[in-house]
Amino acid sequence: MKILAAILIVCFSLQAESYALQSSKKKRTTTTTPKQDSKPKKYTIKSGIVTMQADMTGMKSTSVLYFDDYGRKEMTETFGDFGGVKLHEKVMIVGDYVYNLDLEKNTGTKKKLNGAPAPGTIDFSTISEKMMIDMGISKAGTDSVLEKECQVWIMDFKKMKISGKYWVWNNIPLKSIADVEGIKVEIEAVRIDENPKLPASTFEPPASMEIVEKQ
């Protein structure tokens, strides 16, 4: 399992992905460029770079979220050093695939989503009344992070053993204080760049990396 999940609640995505893929059949494939599809908008601004700091029971890391085309393409890059163990990972969600890339080991996996959201992630743009009931989610007014007015959400998702409080701006979580299976995770944005022009390579795995496809 990953040491620390990437930011913007991607920590939950990596954890869930790890469990789900442990017994999956491996299939070796050549590296290909993910293709964009016609998914609905996830965020309400076209592109962005959000730099965040995370603290998981004293283990600190930095994550940077890059997204384009209103979140149809996104990549979170995480850096950390835990007692001499370096962490450098990328999670990309492009088209109908989620990619988990370990830049330290130069290895990666990809999994087809078949139209579903990435495992474990919270897409605040698609939360329905039923989801709010099923996941124990409620709204708790507004607050500011980096002078951005955020909708505050509370979650108590007993099935996944996740509870927390989330500050969301333009469907982007800028801050969260969560408990994941008894582990406290605090994440907060320290910088936001709105509508930057991002090169296509931002959402492509390294050409030298062999990607293993999970079923």
Dist CA 12 CA 10 (whole Å)? 5
> Can you give the pLDDT at residue 19?
32
Q: Look up residue 170 and give its two tokens.
A: 């333009």
> Can you give the pLDDT at residue 123?
76
**Torsions phi, psi of 206, nearest 5?**
-55, 140
Domains of the chain: 10-214 (2.50.20.10)
Q: Which residues contact 39 (CB under 8 A, 6 or more apart)?
A: 72
pLDDT tens, residue order, the chain (215 aa): 333 343 334 343 333 333 333 333 334 444 444 444 467 888 999 999 999 999 988 889 999 999 999 999 999 999 998 888 899 999 999 888 999 999 999 999 999 988 776 665 667 878 889 989 988 999 999 999 999 999 999 999 888 888 999 999 999 999 999 998 888 999 999 999 999 999 999 999 999 998 999 98
Taking a C-beta distance cutoff of 8 angstroms, is the pair 110, 99 a contact? yes
Residue 20 identity (one-letter amino acid): A
> Can you give the pLDDT at residue 121?
63
The DSSP 8-state label assigned to residue 123 in this structure reads -
Question: Global pTM?
Answer: 0.78
The candidate with the shortest Cα–Cα distance to 215, out of 40, 28, 78, is 28
Dist CA 180 CA 119 (whole Å)? 15
